[in-house]
Amino acid sequence: MINFAIVGMGHIANKHIEAINNAEGANFFAVCDTNPNRLELITDPNVKKYTDLKNMLEENPEIHVVNICVPSGLHAPLTKIVAEQKRHIIVEKPMSLKLEDSEDMIRYAEENGVKLAVVHPNRFRPAIQKLKEEMDKGSFGTLSHANATVRWNRNQAYYDQAEWRGTKEFDGGVLMNQAIHDLDLMLWLMGPVESVQAMAATRLRKIETEDVAAAVVQFKNGALGVVEAATTIYPKNLEESLAIFGETATIKISGRTANFIETWDVEGVTEEDAEKLKNEIKADPFGKPGHQWIIEDMVAAVSEDREPIVTGEDGLAPVKLILAILESAETGKKVVIA
């Protein structure tokens, strides 16, 4: 069994707990939070509780993996602590809010010989997996462009839940918090971005960061991309979608969350087969939870001594793109990504 500990008992920690408890080969061993009241939410007597991360790790050498679920601005310093204690790391998205912090996190893991995985669970949605298969087969021919859209609602009450929400130092805006999943998918499917031109604004929410953004990107392969992201949609989440357009295929994954196949037009695939695939996805649009995929993959990565499926470098790519979008929005100029 691989023993997991969680640091940070905020909302997202519940998904990690559920994933660990359901994952084959994983054991929920310990939890850490600086607020002792949050620790009382853990009722399992076999789970050890701590308010100090270093103490937890020093007292329990049998902990193999630490899941970092604290506010995003704290990911880098906690990754350093965990890596120096020679434990493997799963860190929530975004891996950090700064480019140098993301690069440092990768370096901490490499220097200490530990594995670093970043939580981008949407890669494991059944519809997205089918889309990835078509991309890998070359079904699109020459790629034309891609479109990533996040039209969601995060009202003021959402941001008022905690002081760190909506701040530049600890949280980030709609791009870092919501659209990063879709940007990760776009990069995973389309490849790296060469340049970006963007606009962003804070229109409706009383926060430091953007609540709406739009960008046009050019990929290194010459294809274009359009990004639209907002938490200003009234009165609830409207749409999350990812569309890829190519010489011989058009595929769009959409829905209130991007779990359903809206369009599947691929050269050589009959309408009957496309409809069959749509119904297959509709019957089980969520599949195994993405967090469980990440946990089980880390169990395998440790056991087999290999890299996780979603590496630190994978986590760095959307952070780099988002920072370029924000720079372009601030300067009004096209930004070339090194």
The span from the CA of 52 to the CA of 31, in Å, is 10
- pLDDT one-digit tens code per residue, 173-215: 999 999 999 999 999 999 999 999 999 999 999 999 999 999 9
pLDDT, one tens digit per residue, over 112-141 is 999 999 999 999 999 999 999 999 999 999
pLDDT greater than 90 at residue 83 = yes
CATH number for 104: 3.40.50.720
Same domain for 129 and 254, yes or no, is yes
Grade residue 313 by pLDDT with cuts at 50, 70 and 90: very high
Q: How many CB atoms lie within 10 A of CB 271?
A: 9
139 and 40, same structural domain? no
Alpha-carbon distance of 204 to 166, in angstroms, equals 12
Q: What is the mean pLDDT of residues 260-281?
A: 98
Q: Are 296 and 304 in contact (CB under 8 A)?
A: no
Give the total number of structural domains in the chain. 2
pLDDT band at 22 (very low <50, low <70, confident <90, very high): very high
For residue 103, what are the contacts with CB-CB under 8 A and spacing of at least 6? 316
Query: Does residue 253 share a domain with residue 163?
Result: yes
Residues paired with 143 in a beta bridge: 246
Rounded Cα–Cα distance for residues 19 and 12 (Å) = 11
| Residue 131 maps to a domain | yes
137 and 10 in a common domain: no
Q: Considering the domain boundaries, does residue 314 fall inside one? A: no
Residues 6+ apart with CB under 8 A from 162: 10
In a domain, 282, yes or no: yes
Q: Are residues 18 and 99 in the same domain?
A: yes
Pair 138, 65 in one domain:
no
Take residue 329 and report the two structure tokens written for it: 């929005």
How far CA 92 is from CA of 87, 232, 293, 295, 297, in Å, comes to 16, 24, 14, 12, 15
pLDDT for 338 equals 85
The answer to whether residues 83 and 141 belong to one domain is no
**One domain for residues 210 and 248:** yes
Same structural domain, 154 and 9: no
Report the pLDDT value the prediction gives residue 270, as an integer from 0 to 100. Answer: 98
Mean pLDDT to the nearest integer, 279-305:
98
Look up the pTM and report it. Answer: 0.96
Q: Is residue 313 part of a domain?
A: no
CA atoms in the 13 A half-sphere facing the CB of 323: 16
Q: Which domain holds residue 299?
A: 2-121+291-308
- Is 329 within a domain? yes
